[in-house]
Amino acid sequence: MFNQHAPALKREGAPHDSAAAEVVRRSRYPSRLSMYSSAPDLEVSIEEFETFALDRLQVLRAIEDAQLRGRGEDDVRRRVGEALEKHLPMQSNRARAAARQVIGQRRKDHVSHFILRLAFSRTEELRGWFLRQESALLRHRFREADTAERAELLAAAKLQARHLAADARDAQLGETASAFYGAQEAVYEVDFERVPDLVARAQVVVRGGHAYVAASDVAALLVNEFRDALARSLAVCARALPQLGEDERLLPVLQSLTNQSARAEYQSTGAAGAVTADSVDALAAMFPPCMQHLHAQLLREHHLRHGGRMQLGLFLKGAGLRLPDALVYWRRAFSNMTDDQFQKGYAYNVRHNYGAEGRRVDYAPYSCHRIITSNPPGPGDHHGCPFRHFSADRLRTALHSTRLPDADVREISDLARAGHCQVACTRHLEARLAQRRQQQPDQPPSDAAHVPSIASPNQYLDLLLTDGRGTRSKTERTATGTDAILAGPKPQNAQPQPYSYA
């Protein structure tokens, strides 16, 4: 572990000297930085259990989103900081706050970590996601902490590392290697396998199987140690998880949390107002790419297979198309068949989606997660996500057809190729909003340079209709032409350009 004779890090001011600060220091949560090495031994209510976990999940989502969409390190730090302040704030020991409040914040942080640790141990994919986001969270908090808090965490972590002051470093590494570091900079000697990130970036000197980590880079060593310990703990949790199979209170909550890691179910704001059978085709200009593709194929072929009908039909339902209008719209769309064929083969399915048949379940529109991960399209199918299921060439062609700038097309295509489908869709929406602002310079300024990450096609529609805000008044809809779009005539002889999944 760290050499006990190593010089202590300089404190940036003493903790706030008060009775409240002393109570915090003597509590089970003396610091706001933690390696989460011991599970909490306390009782929490079911309400706290779910609320704590959901708030932490919001933070982990924001970290993932910031790393993918942040424009530079400062922007990433700002985004993560804002998410923490909103969902998981923690004050330092120096803050002038009641001890109960500070301890409560740290209790929530500690408990929520272990809840999600249990929930995300179910599969290798979930464990990997949780490891990445929790490691990034620790890195952010360590970077934002003062030196006193950092020193306390490093001491608590008991890292297996040998401290070398500048003179000892020079004697061991020689003048050439020592010139790699600052003149008076201490280093820590560790096995090189423990700092793969620093080795890969050539930020350490490696000699005889050891890496010499500069004191300024010790965060990487700490995070790697945390990641390794957390990976082992997740494996233990995975083996213990089947024992919870009979707990009817806990297991559904854990399963719900992992489902929500890919975004919670979106509730439409009704930005489109009342959608009718006559207004769908005009409104299609505002659809997200997946629904524009389905709509184009429906106009072209006058038919969609079951997967496409479900995806588009529930989207239209969520947008505001009521059952009577839905029956009229789908009957018109399936114009190559008789009324009897439509009633026997397709009308039941439309009514079923609205809860008017069968078990009378009121089905929700598909989320992006469901579209991306389940029931991939086969030959002759048109459902799915363009950013996941289109070929690279076809996606670029589709993006160019919307007249987006080449730089946006490249960025969106790169995100899709890397598997960040929802981020690619979000960037597509941002590019369309920017394009609209350029075409309408007389409109009031918009703050929609960045929109919330897309979790549902209906969210995309609402945001596009509202300049990135999600909701607006009847007056705003009329002023910006949304009502005119909805009331517009059905296009005649439309010739949509189909996209291919090949």
Dump pLDDT digits (tens) for 392-421.
999 999 999 888 999 999 999 999 998 889
Asked whether the whole model's pTM tops 0.85, one would answer no
Closest CA to 396 of 409, 383, 411: 409
Query: For residue 302, what are its two tokens?
Result: 């006058």
Cα dihedral sign for 323, 327, 329, 333?
Answer: positive
DSSP 305-351: -HHHHHHHHHHHHHHTB-HHHHHHHHHHH-TTS-HHHHIIIIIHHHH
Query: For residue 124, what are its two tokens?
Result: 């290798």
295's torsion region: left (phi>0), alpha (psi -120 to 50) or beta?
alpha
The CA-to-CA distance between both ends of the chain, in Å, stands at 56
Tell me the pLDDT tens digit for each residue of 120-169.
Answer: 988 887 888 899 999 999 999 998 988 788 888 888 887 777 777 877 87
Residue 89's alpha-carbon distances to 12, 86, 223, in angstroms, are 21, 7, 21
Tell me the pLDDT tens digit for each residue of 78-122.
Answer: 999 999 999 999 988 877 778 889 899 999 999 999 999 988 988
Split at pLDDT 50, 70, 90, the class of 4 is: very low
Computed over every residue of the chain, the mean pLDDT equals 82
Residues 6 or more apart whose Cβ sits within 8 Å of residue 361: 355
Res. 447: pLDDT tops 70: no
